[in-house]
Every structure is written in structure tokens, then in C-alpha cells.
Structure 1
Amino acid sequence: MKHAFRSYRFPPLSQFIAAGQRSEDTDGQWQASVAEGFEQGQRDGYEVGLVRGQQDGYDAGRSDGTARGREEGRNETLVTLDRLARPVDAILKNLRQVRADYRAAQRKEVVDLVAKVARQVIRAELALQPVQLLALVDETLASMPPTREEIDVFLNPEELKRISELDPKRAKRWNLIADARLDAGECRIKAGDNEVDAGCHQRLAACMEQVSNHLQLAAEHIDEEVS
């Protein structure tokens, strides 16, 4: 069996040249497209980054500005409040001083009244029993250094006379001396180089000082509770 052969015709060379040219043109277009896309991507990225950076900067600036504004507003408010509070503080200070002065005056009145009543009681008691002054002398001498020298006791002349009449035995224990400068109830003792006041008024003054201190402490305690 015989096979029939067909003759093959090679395509013209011009077709391969044209195809190569088209391939080269396609590569060029592709490279151009890539370059254009890269440039476009750069532009788009720059614009996006610029917008985002501006937004971030705006947000940061707004946050910082808000914080500074609040701090400045707070400081201005404190300054204003301090300026407004000064007159009020001065008024409160004056009121406290007035209250303190009033209470001090009240305490003084109370102490003076108690002292006045006490002096009247002492005067009445001594008028009835002037010999009680000798008990004050004994008490005072007990607190002084012992001495072998003669003890001089200075008394009001009227009280000295009555003591000598009422209790002459006790009156002879010391050297009683009349002193017109002394008020009723007053007494001075001299033992050697030591001389002390043993009268009622000096003791009363010490007692009234304790009363005044007690009232002062009580007033301070009340002020602390009120505050």
C-alpha cells in the first residue's frame, strides 16, 4: 500500500519577524504598565500617607491642645477661687478673733467674779477666826528650808491685835510684827535670808490662775469639736 505525501510549505520569514516585533512591543507595553503602576502606587501611597499623617497630627495636636487648655483653665479657676476666697478668709479670721476675744472676756469676768466672791468669803472667815492666818504660817514654814534664826511674821495691825487676844500662846511662837502696809488677810514671813508671802491673796491669785487655765483648756476643746 502506497502512502501519499503532501508537501509542507514553511511560513514566510516575515511572519516570524512580525511576531517577534509584536512580542517586543508587548514586553515594552508590560514594562511601561508596570512602571506606570509603580508610579501610580507611589502617588497613591504618598497621598494616603499624607492624609493619614495630617489626621494623626491633627488628633495629636487636638489632644495636646485640649490637655493644655484644661490645665490652663484649671489654673485660672484656682487663681480666681483664691482671689475670691481671700475676703472670705479675712472675714472668717476676724470672726474667729472676735469669738476668741469674747470668750476671753467671758473667762476674765468669770474669774474676776469667782475671785471677788472668794475674797469676800475669806474676809468674812478671817473676821470671825483671824487665828487661821497662823495655820497659813505653819504651812508656809513647812515648805521653807529649816532655820534656827528668829522667825518674823508681818501682819496687818488689826489682825495682829485680834490674834494676840484670841490665841496668845500660839502668837508667842514667832515674832509677830505689825505692818500697816499689809491688807487684811495678808501675811509675810522672814526666816533668815528667806522672805515669802504667806497671805490669802497670794494663794487666791494662784488658785484663780488655775481656774483661768482650766477655762482656757475647756474653750480650746470646744473649738476643736466645732472645727
Structure 2
Amino acid sequence: MGCSLGKAGYHPDRLVYKRASLSHRCPAMPPETASVAPQAERPAPSLRELFVGFLSVAVVAFGGVLPIARRAVVERYKWVDSDEFTELVGLAQFLPGPNIVNLSIVIGSRFRGVPGAIAAFCGLTLAPAVFVILAGTLFARYSDVPAVADLIAGLAAGAAGMVIAMAGRMGEMLWRRPSVQGLGIAAAAFVGIAVLGLPLLWVMLGLAPVSIALAWWAIR
């Protein structure tokens, strides 16, 4: 059972009347067939939101921070989308230092400048610093206990699984929009690091200009 939309015409009074009658006659129009107004962009997170957001990542990220950070930044808070997160992780990997720390600084400075970078960095590192001091003290005292060694092995296996899962999510862009250049760069990086055992820095320095040149050539 459909509804007649009719012609709105060009007279201002008729146009208002037709639009009003349209909403009256077709209240159950499916949202996918109606025109959807563009949503307003989400406002930039405040300093407090950056601090609390990365603090929540650090508190629950046992064994691997990047997968939890992706879920928080992309899915929960929606500060960036999936493609932007992948690009920021690539930048963080290229810079010296821990990837997740670089990522927090980049995201914080992107929204709130230097204060945002400091807030995100402190939120990410405050809780782990306390936990590491306590855990290091306990581990130095009970490291010979077999149960503690089994616990550490289990945490390592869980962390490896989380990293593999995150790699699959980040690789979504490759299989969703496959390209010979992207697949070739990913395969070359895997062979260089996992098969040949080359240092990550040299692989990045070698592949980064090639990847940039291929991307520039593709959008010409």
C-alpha cells in the first residue's frame, strides 16, 4: 500500500502545503527512502574527555593496548573513523617510541593542540605506571612460583591473539577496497619483517617512500 507524493509545484504556499500533507499522509515512510539531513559533526573532545578516554583504555588494556584503543577511539567515542585510525597507527609506527603513546599524542594534539596531547598522554600512562611498579615488585618476589609463570604465559598468548585480531580489523581497508599497490606493500612488509628478519626501521624507511609514490600515482 503506497502513498501518492504528487507534485509540489513552485508556488511557495503550495510547496508548504504539499510538504505538510506529505508528512501527514505518509507517516510510516521507511527511513531509507526518505531524505536524511546531514548529521552535525561530533564536537571535538574536551581535555577531560581525552584524559578519561585514554585512561579507560589503559585500565582495561591488559597485554595489548592498540586493539582496545581502536575499539574506544573508533567505535565507542567515534573520535575518528576506521580509515583515519589506520592512517594514524601507520604514522605512530613510523615515529620513534611506543606506538600507542605516539597515537595518543597525535590524537590529543589533533583536537586540542599541545594541552590535548598532554592530557591524552597522561591519561594513557598514569594507571600503567602505577600498575607496572606494583607488578614489578610482586613479580620480583614471586617469579619462581610455577603458577605465576603460567599466568604470564597465558597473558602473552592473549596479547598475541589481540594483536592478530586488530591486524585483521586494520586490514579491512585492503580487502574492502583491494588494490595491487596496497597488497604489494603489505606483502613486502610482511616478508621483510617476518621472513627475512629485517629491522622494522629499515623496512619502514624503504617502503614508506615507495608507498607514498604509488598512492600519489594512483590519484593522479
Q: TM-score range by the shorter chain?
A: under 0.3
Structure possessing the higher radius of gyration over alpha carbons: 1
TM-score (norm: length of structure 2): 0.18
- Give the strand-richer structure, 1 or 2: 1
Larger RCO (alpha carbons 8 Å, 6+ apart): 2
Q: Scaled by the length of structure 1, what TM-score is found?
A: 0.17
